C-alpha cells in the first residue's frame, strides 16, 4: 500500500507526520520558472486562436511567481475578453488585461471615488512609480492605473521583472521597501498628511524589514544571526496556544528597534527622492487623473522627467 498526500502549507504540519516510516519522502513541486511558464501557456493556448503578434515568452516574463492554475486562468480570461469584443483571435492586449484580472481582480468602475480620493490615489500611485524609476534595483514600471479593482484596490502600480530572481542583496531589499513606501511619502509631500490607503504598503514594508533582521542576518546591531524557527510551534499556531520564541525580551526589543530603523531610513530616503522630483510627481498625477492608466512610452518619458514630450504625446 502506498499513501500519498499533498499540501500547499508544509510549514504548518506536525513534525511527527514527517518522521521516518510516515511521510518521510517529499517531492517538492515548485512554481515554474520562465521556461516552465512559457511551456504551460503554450499547452493552454492550443485550443485558443492567438493573433500572430502574440509572444507567449513575453507573457511568461510578465508572470513570475504564477502557478500553473494561474496561467490557465490567464488564457481562459483572455479568450473570454476577446470573444466579448468580437475578435477572431486573442491579442496581446487581451492577455495583458487577463493578467491584471488575475493579479488584482475585475475593474470596479462602479466604485465611484470622490474628487479628493481620486486625487490622493493618483499621487499615491505616481509616488510608487517614481520611486521605482529612481532607485537602482527596482523592477521596471510597466503600468500605473487609478481604476479600482477587486475588493479594495483603488489603484495600482505594475512592475515587470526582467528575469526570475532567486537571491536578493541587502540593497535590492532596501530598494523594494523604498518603492513600497513611495505612495505614503507622496501623500505626505502633497497633502501634509497621510491616508489609510498605505496600510498594506506599510504592512509589507514592515514584514520585509523584519525578515532582513530576523532571517537574513542584515542587522548591524544583531549581526549575522537568525531569530525564530519557522517550523517551531506552527502546528498549533492560531489555535489559541501561545507561540514560544527562542530569544529574550531584550533581543525582541532590539529586533523591533532595528525593524523600525530600516523603515525610517527608507522613509527619509524616499522623502529626499520625491522631494527632488515633486514636479514630475504632480505632473504624473494630473496625467493619471485625465487618462486613468499610463503605460508604455508616455509613462517612460514621464518618469524620466521629459515632461513636455509627454504632454505633447498624450494629448
- Which residues participate in catalysis according to the annotation? 125
What is the residue-wise DSSP string for 79-124?
HHHHHHTT-SSB-HHHHHHHHHHHHH-SB-TTSPPPHHHHHHHHHH
DSSP state of 224: S
**Cβ atoms < 10 Å from Cβ of 251:** 15
The edge-to-edge listing of strands for the beta sheet with 156-159 is: 156-159, 141-145, 293-295
| Contact indicator for 171, 266 with CB cutoff of 8 Å | no
H helices within the chain, ranges in order? 34-44, 56-61, 68-84, 92-104, 115-134, 170-191, 199-214, 249-276, 278-291, 296-303, 307-314
160 Cβ neighbours under 8 A, 6+ residues apart? 61, 62, 139, 140, 141, 142
How far apart, in whole angstroms, are the C-alpha atoms of residue 313 and residue 119?
22
For 151, the 3-state DSSP assignment is coil
Q: Which residue has the cell 530603523?
A: 261
Distances (CA, A) of 147 to 112, 120, 152: 10, 13, 11
| Contact indicator for 78, 52 with CB cutoff of 8 Å | no
Amino acid at each position: 500500500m502506498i499513501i500519498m498526500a499533498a499540501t500547499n502549507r508544509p510549514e504548518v504540519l506536525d513534525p511527527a507526520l514527517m518522521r521516518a516510516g510516515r511521510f518521510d519522502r517529499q517531492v517538492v513541486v515548485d512554481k515554474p520558472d520562465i521556461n516552465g511558464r512559457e511551456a504551460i501557456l503554450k499547452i493552454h493556448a492550443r485550443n485558443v486562436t492567438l493573433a500572430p503578434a502574440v509572444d507567449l515568452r513575453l507573457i511568461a516574463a510578465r508572470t513570475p511567481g504564477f502557478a500553473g492554475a494561474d496561467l490557465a486562468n490567464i488564457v481562459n480570461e483572455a479568450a473570454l475578453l476577446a470573444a466579448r469584443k468580437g475578435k477572431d483571435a486573442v491579442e496581446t492586449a487581451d492577455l495583458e488585461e487577463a493578467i491584471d484580472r488575475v493579479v488584482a481582480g475585475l475593474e470596479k468602475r462602479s466604485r465611484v471615488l470622490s474628487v479628493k480620493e481620486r486625487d490622493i490615489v493618483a499621487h499615491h500611485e505616481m509616488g510608487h512609480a517614481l520611486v521605482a524609476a529612481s532607485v537602482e534595483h527596482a523592477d521596471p514600471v510597466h503600468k500605473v492605473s487609478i481604476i479600482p479593482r477587486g475588493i479594495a484596490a483603488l489603484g495600482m502600480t505594475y512592475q515587470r521583472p526582467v528575469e526570475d530572481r532567486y537571491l536578493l542583496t541587502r540593497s535590492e531589499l532596501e530598494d523594494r521597501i523604498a518603492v513600497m513606501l513611495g505612495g505614503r511619502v507622496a501623500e505626505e509631500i502633497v497633502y501634509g498628511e497621510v491616508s489609510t490607503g498605505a496600510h498594506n504598503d506599510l504592512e509589507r514594508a514592515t514584514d520585509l524589514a523584519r525578515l532582513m533582521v530576523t532571517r537574513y542576518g542584515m542587522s548591524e546591531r544583531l549581526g549575522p544571526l537568525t531569530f525564530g524557527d519557522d517550523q517551531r510551534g506552527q502546528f498549533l499556531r492560531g489555535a489559541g496556544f501561545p507561540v514560544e520564541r527562542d530569544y529574550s525580551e531584550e533581543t525582541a526589543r532590539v529586533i523591533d528597534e532595528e525593524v523600525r530603523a530600516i523603515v525610517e531610513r527608507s522613509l527619509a530616503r524616499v522623502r529626499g527622492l520625491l522631494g527632488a522630483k515633486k514636479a514630475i510627481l504632480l505632473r504624473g498625477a494630473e496625467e493619471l487623473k485625465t487618462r486613468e492608466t499610463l503605460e508604455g512610452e508616455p509613462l517612460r518619458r514621464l518618469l524620466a522627467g521629459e515632461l513636455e514630450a509627454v504632454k505633447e504625446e498624450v494629448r
